[in-house]
């Protein structure tokens, strides 16, 4: 069987990724909680997210008393960078730090830049939730592995951005949730949803209920876990109609997990395909169609993306 690996989509192996993911997950939680404290609340907790950038992951601009500041996790130079609109530019190395050391150094760096911030310094959506300052466990950080994961995020981000453009209703930015360590984009039907009854470890229920206050169809990428050691794309809707999982989706390698209530497609299936971008778009479109059909969404919310592109060319 021929190998259709496309060089521009890097190979990802969970067992190679796992130690670096565990470390950077906690780093992003600390950075994300700073953003949470400094940003006004936006519906569905959109103010807390990070974004894929030209060097790694970024908070984007955040307000502080003298202007705006930004924190970047740079996966090219492998540094944390803090910059302000007053001209401060400070950085320190990413690798070789415990979570406690990273937390203390980032807080010290913010103080040096003239930024005061206090966070609830305990991680969310993980169990056990060890306070950052008490987490002295040695951390693994492989610069090459993290660079490859970020390069995958760049390519996924671009496909998600294209998909987002094909919808005229309310939809989310393409953003990185540091709680679950996943990149996601979400479409909304415009209708209120039933009160959400689910929960996540160390996450206030009211936050989950506000996040799912309206009907959604969401797609994302997640780098895997020990229980499911496959970097994968997922798609779900809330509420979930009984026949959602019975719908035909593409490509053939995609499957539905009744336990999770979601469709999945492994990253490897996309990366090894002849056209990864097209393969991923088919998964996103077909799973949205499944949600829209079974949930009786307004079909006019779907845009003819190609027609829009042609009209502006």
DSSP 274: S
CB of 134 closer than 8 Å to CB of 115: no
Do 226 and 267 lie in a common domain?
yes
Q: Report the pLDDT value the prediction gives residue 310, as an integer from 0 to 100.
A: 62
Domain containing 78 equals 14-134
232 within some domain: yes
Q: Are residues 129 and 148 in the same domain?
A: no
CA distance 227 to 225: 5
Residue 1 in any domain: the answer is: no
Is residue 139 in a domain? no
| pLDDT confidence of residue 1 | 36
Domain count, the chain: 2
For the stretch 244-297, pLDDT in tens is 999 999 999 999 999 999 999 999 999 999 999 999 999 999 999 999 999 999
Q: Is residue 46 part of a domain?
A: yes
Report the distance separating Cα 251 and Cα 235, nearest Å. 13
pLDDT digits (tens, 9 = 90+) for 53-88: 999 999 999 999 989 999 999 999 999 999 999 999
- Reading the block at residue 289, the tokens are 């169609």
CB 279 within 8 A of CB 10: no
In this structure, are 128 and 150 located in the same domain?
A: no
Same domain, 217 and 119: no
């Amino acid at each position: 069987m021929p190998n259709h690996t496309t060089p521009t989509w890097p190979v990802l192996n969970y067992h190679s990724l796992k130690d670096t993911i565990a470390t950077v997950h906690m780093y992003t939680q600390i950075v994300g909680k700073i953003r949470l404290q400094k940003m006004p609340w936006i519906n569905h907790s959109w103010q807390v997210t990070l974004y894929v950038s030209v060097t790694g992951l970024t908070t984007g601009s955040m307000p502080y008393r003298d202007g705006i500041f930004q924190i970047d996790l740079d996966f090219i130079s492998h540094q944390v960078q803090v910059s302000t609109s007053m001209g401060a530019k400070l950085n320190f190395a990413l690798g070789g730090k415990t979570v406690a050391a990273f937390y203390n150094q980032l807080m010290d760096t913010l103080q040096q830049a003239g930024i005061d911030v206090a966070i609830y310094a305990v991680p969310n959506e993980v169990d056990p939730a060890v306070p950052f300052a008490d987490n002295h466990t040695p951390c693994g950080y492989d610069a090459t592995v993290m660079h490859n994961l970020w390069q995958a995020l760049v390519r996924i981000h671009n496909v998600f951005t294209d998909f987002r453009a094909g919808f005229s209703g309310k939809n989310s930015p393409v953003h990185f949730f540091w709680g679950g360590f996943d990149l996601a984009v979400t479409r909304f039907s415009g209708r209120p949803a039933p009160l959400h009854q689910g929960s996540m470890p160390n996450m206030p229920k009211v936050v989950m209920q506000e996040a799912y206050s309206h009907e959604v169809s969401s797609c994302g990428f997640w780098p895997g876990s020990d229980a499911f050691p496959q970097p994968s794309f997922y798609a779900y809707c809330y509420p979930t109609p009984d026949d959602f999982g019975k719908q035909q989706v593409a490509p053939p390698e995609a499957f539905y997990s009744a336990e999770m209530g979601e469709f999945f497609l492994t990253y490897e299936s996309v990366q090894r395909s002849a056209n990864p971008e097209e393969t991923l778009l088919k998964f996103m479109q077909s799973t949205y169609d499944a949600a829209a059909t079974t949930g009786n969404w307004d079909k006019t919310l779907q845009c003819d993306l190609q027609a829009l592109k042609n009209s502006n060319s």
